[in-house]
Structure 1
């Protein structure tokens, strides 16, 4: 669960002495093998009283690289960093709220608040934890984010007309992740009830079941560079469709698929390519819409792999070299015939563990290939492919 910061820690870290202490410990290795020696060095440089808070802050800033836009001056807790959205995801969500008054009722250390403040007309952040609130004040100031901050319980409204944004805690008292919406802090239904009639945006884990949030008018699944990151629940006038998949790339591009699009994709014979849609599209149940948009077909109506003669740009696709009914013996023979020594194995719709199958293939050759294992109707099928 990480070090538990106190308000005194935050006050020190924000001071000139604290900034100097952080600078003096910034170059420490802080690896498992060097930890004891680094702790001794930190205590000698900044004193026993503050060494733990300084070392934890140095570590968290390192972990935040690639997640926060500029974490070098941030104050963080381990839990807050784990739950914070990657900045491109937070920025994507905030863009839908541009020009609105926004109240982040679970602002924590301000990771989402900074993105919201950049586009909102007026922005308020509140939290029940005074330590995180003090960190948020520091972080917003460092990022140049204009936001009013106050201590308040998310279930006791202190604003009237602003869009409400919430990111409920999803860990129990022992730090274990919880998946039940009733166990979130605050619970999802309690949030929805408290802000009934207001525009509400709630960030959740991507695995949340649609039936668990009947009050949500739109469920958006967001991925970043191929990794599904979160669900976002939109209610009121903010919702523009029932289901949405947003595929974000590091270059700033965004691909959006919604259930308002045509789903007239057909099951067809395998074409020249196998296309593996982004996880956000699969999780959002929008594979048919994506297929119809790009003129692709489904290998099987229950399987998310698509096929066609021209793959969409920017998507992972596999050029089919050969395919047939799957068995280990037949697959081994096909790969040896092609002199494949290294193989990537993707499975969908079959009970096959790639990590166990790979050594059983006993391959030895100079070439590489990708194998897609799936089911077409009742037939287990293997595709030997070249990934592009």
Structure 2
């Protein structure tokens, strides 16, 4: 039986059962999915398309439509998800393929057990680099999907908190969603993060977590390894915890920017002065900021901080491949002054970056009422502390 519910985005979500997965994996299901994929299923055609699919395929229609739509959504994470099976929650939490491949490279040559394998996203990357791979999950439906998605990997049904392997590196991706809703407390993960640490204490362990996880909370739970923050396509994707035996000696925090194949760690130099703005302002990648490695990034590229507590950096030369903001004018911030400055530079459109100032960029942009022809940027931040603190706006031209 296929059940439906409403997801956290208000959409109808199908809850699959084993019989439905078996049908989708069959030759008949495979062919029918190809037929359903021929429908546009856009906002303009969805009602008529769904009615037609239901007339043709009856009780299977909901699962077929859901699978086709999930495969289309999955193209943002996978190079070719056209043959994969997903649930909505599993796709939302599935690791993007480039991120999974990066992690697999760090585990090259190892024997790895993914104890929360879900529909197999991590296994698909690991099978090409690890010496041996096994996956397990407690959810029989996701496990059945994984048997379809990564048919060449050994799989078994098991509780992640009841070890069924020895010696292998343990990879875990605790569920951070329940019925489509996010969980932010690591003690509320499934399984809870502290229980994972306890059960696998003394073993090599890799745990994928939400990027906003509290580093101090990890320390309180006894974690003493490396926290790697990874970004892809300008977005911070995850925090990955590497136990001490898998971490690089002396490294506790790492920022990995997959777009540029760049890594910064807390073992790198962090000599970074604080000084007024030079020619360029740089907003470091979110992984660098989240990992607390702004000073280390600045030291690598000869940049400096505008303020010791703000992540914006400045320099007279822009690092290769980095988007920066060339300073045209610096003003003490007020809406009136900013409007006058933008008018003086013939601004007709503006992006607004804000740190340390309580301003809504979208609302401020509308209030500027720009009528010029130039595309400009505004970097709005707070400089100084205490009575010397001041909101400052930099009118800039972006490098790209």
**TM-score, normalising length: structure 1:** 0.96
1:342-373 deviations in Å (ceiling 9; x for gaps): 11111111111112211222211111110111
Residue 157 (structure 1) aligned to one of 157, 163, 169? 163
1:242-288 deviations in Å (ceiling 9; x for gaps): 00000011xxx410000001111010121000001000000000000
CA contact (8 A) 1:278 1:315 kept: no
C-alpha deviation, 1:216, in angstroms: 4.4
Matched, 1:205 2:210: yes
Matched, 1:339 2:346: yes
CA contact (8 A) 2:75 2:81 kept: yes
1:329-350 deviations in Å (ceiling 9; x for gaps): 1111111111111111111111
Name the structure 2 match of 1:196: 201
Aligned length: 379
Q: 2: distance between equivalents of 1:82 and 1:199?
A: 27
Residue 285 (structure 1) aligned to one of 282, 292, 304? 292
State how 1:12-27 maps to structure 2 within 5 Å. 12-27=23-38
State how 1:232-243 maps to structure 2 within 5 Å. 232-240=240-248, 241-243=251-253
Q: 2: distance between equivalents of 1:102 and 1:17?
A: 34
Q: 1: distance between equivalents of 2:97 and 2:74?
A: 10
Name the structure 2 match of 1:296: 303
CA contact (8 A) 1:85 1:112 kept: yes
Structure 2: stretches of 5+ with no match in the other structure: 1-6, 8-12
1:274-318 deviations in Å (ceiling 9; x for gaps): 001000000000000000010000000000000000111122200
Compute the RMSD of aligned alpha carbons.
Answer: 1.1
SS in structure 1 of the partner of residue 15 of structure 2: coil
Q: 1: distance between equivalents of 2:94 and 2:198?
A: 24
CA contact (8 A) 1:133 1:151 kept: yes
Structure 1: stretches of 5+ with no match in the other structure: none
SS in structure 2 of the partner of residue 65 of structure 1: helix
Q: 1: distance between equivalents of 2:135 and 2:125?
A: 12
Residue 232 (structure 2) aligned to one of 224, 244, 269? 224
Residue 117 (structure 2) aligned to one of 99, 107, 111? 107
Q: 1: distance between equivalents of 2:299 and 2:53?
A: 59
Name the structure 1 match of 2:337: 330
Q: 1: distance between equivalents of 2:361 and 2:22?
A: 51
More displaced stretch, 235-244 vs 276-285 = 235-244
C-alpha deviation, 1:120, in angstroms: 0.6
C-alpha deviation, 1:175, in angstroms: 2.5
Q: After the TM superposition, which segments of 4 or more aligned residues of structure 1 sit over 4 Å from their partners? A: none
Residue 262 (structure 2) aligned to one of 255, 261, 266? 255
**TM-score, normalising length: structure 2:** 0.93
CA contact (8 A) 2:77 2:97 kept: yes
CA contact (8 A) 1:246 1:256 kept: yes
